[in-house]
Structure 1
Amino acid sequence: MVNNCAEPIWVAHSTNVQGPQNVKLTRGAAYTYDVPEGGLSATRFWPKTGCDEGGRNCTTGDSVAPCPAGGCQPPIESKFEATFAPRGSAAQTWYNLSQVDGYTLPFKVVPRGAGAEQGSCITSDCSGLSLAQCPGDEDLGNGQFPAYAHQDLRVRDRNGVVVGCMAPCKKWNYPAPWGLGQPESADPGLHLCCPTPIDPATGQCTAANACMTSDACRNTADPRSVEHTEYVLRMHRMCPTAYSYAYDDAAGLHACSSETSFEVTFCP
């Protein structure tokens, strides 16, 4: 993890990752996390900003417990996620840059070592992420639901400065004061969040049953599809190799060798 931002960041990660939480990185500083030889599944790393020296009481990034007195913040941080295969095995290491919930800082992921820059194991450059491009007047229903036609996805700090951007689904389902606190089972949230409470293999995963298959989620012929939101359209321009919504697999999922490691730079 490398910080090239003007201000310090604190790196947080999922609990299955070895190494300290909330490592403070000043500009130009880096920290390396070791992955066990036997691999590691479903890891997640994200930057926190505006924290105290201990990496708490942050402006962004306090999205998992322990949280500040005011409660957890929405999980909108720019995220790097990976499942590491056992080293030397024929299995693949998978990684993605996730803006499914939103984004904060621009970042870039560069694969290193065996398998780097081969197939889909490519450099993913989200250095173009800009909070200035966060929609301030998003139509969550694409003309189908007038009550949700004018939604501000920008997240501000106590001084009114924009510090993050909420994805359409997160705006829909996250509680107030950040979001609308609405159920994913109801439209337009059904098409924004694409929940799958029913196994698609049963054939019963339909919109009528409050379930969306991956194909239904990606169906651009459906005017309610999240693909039509300004957020997704702008994300695909700013960060074309990242997840901008659930099932954005064609753009966001990358397969690498079990020998591949990664360099993640914030504010590249």
Structure 2
Amino acid sequence: MDAFHEKDQLLSDFKAQGIAGSSATVFTLQNQCSYTIWPGTLCGNGIATLGDGGFSLAAGASVQFPVPQAWSGRIWARTGCNFDASGNGKCVTGDCGGLLKCSAGGAPPVSLAEFTIGKDANDKDFYDVSLVDGYNVGLGVKAVGGSGDCRYAGCVTDLKRNCPTELQVMDSGSVVACKSACAAFNTSQFCCTGDHATPQTCSPTQYSKLFKNACPTAYSYAYDDATSTFTCSGSDYVITFCPS
């Protein structure tokens, strides 16, 4: 089945379920990591839950979800998970309360893909890849078939390799994630709170600069909007874990 008819079939299936209209956006999630991940999804406005909130995705596998108009939410990878037949368990990174099917966000540090889909095909989608909550796997978002800015957002570099010692999260002798400076030190300077709660008073730090230099099109700290939030209209999106 070619891409056009595959999308058409997906939309027909979801339209029958009352989930998406004929102009729904399609998310394709690709796992290019060399290991299984467990993507987590969280809807921010109650419109639709993608993939029941969480599922397993083997190395090299991909999955597609039609996404309704006006949907907003986030997608992330969980690693090192172990769930029982009832969907209870734990993940080494990105855990969402010990459940396979997430109803809450992933525990930092975690790389996030964030979306606000437009209300119609002519309305702008907003999307970004955020390292504000830290980093656990590489993550990229590519707009396909849309119009407008539509740039690639993401973090291709493996930040675990150059993560400062004070930000490292270790498991079984290996660095499995890199904390944000806010999570590591919990100060207003690093968290953009208190006296540093505005764009004018919260500047990049040596840690956010390290993230930004490695991943120029990803959010590195709370007020990194100018070079990190992208827009596109009428697009589908490919979300790739461990992009090359």
Matched, 1:126 2:155: yes
Matched, 1:33 2:65: yes
Cα distance, 1:26 vs. partner?
0.8
Of Structure 1 and Structure 2, which has the larger fraction of its residues in strand? 2
Q: How does 1:223-262 map to 2 (within 5 A)?
A: 227-229=204-206, 231-257=207-233, 259-262=234-237
Which deviates more, 127-136 or 11-20?
A: 11-20
SS in 1 for 2:211: helix
Cα distance, 1:123 vs. partner?
1.2
Matched, 1:156 2:170: yes
Structure 1 residue aligned with 2:81, among 51, 65, 83? 51
Cα 1:55–1:109 change in 2 (3 A) is farther
Deviation per residue, 1:46-105 (Å, 9 max, x gap)? 00111125483111111x33469xxx984211110001112324x311001010010011
Q: Quick one: which amino acid aligns to residue 250 of structure 1?
A: A
Deviation per residue, 1:4-30 (Å, 9 max, x gap)? 111100110114433323221111111
Matched residues, percent identical? 34
Show the counterpart of 1:80: 113
Gaps of 5+ in 1: 137-151, 174-188, 197-206, 219-226
1:51·1:57 contact (CA, 8 Å) conserved in 2?
Answer: yes
Structure 2 residue aligned with 1:6, among 34, 47, 55? 34
Deviation per residue, 1:142-200 (Å, 9 max, x gap)? xxxxxxxxxx100011x221100001011123xxxxxxxxxxxxxxx11111127xxxx
Gaps of 5+ in 2: 1-28
| Structure 1 CA distance for aligned equivalents of residues 89 and 65 of structure 2 | 20
- Normalising by structure 1, we get a TM-score of 0.70
The structure 1 segments of at least 4 consecutive aligned residues displaced by more than 6 Å after TM superposition are none
- Normalising by structure 2, we get a TM-score of 0.77
| Structure 2 CA distance for aligned equivalents of residues 66 and 29 of structure 1 | 24
| Structure 1 CA distance for aligned equivalents of residues 213 and 201 of structure 2 | 22
| Structure 2 CA distance for aligned equivalents of residues 48 and 254 of structure 1 | 24
SS in 1 for 2:185: helix
| Structure 2 CA distance for aligned equivalents of residues 94 and 73 of structure 1 | 21
SS in 2 for 1:191: helix
SS in 1 for 2:50: coil
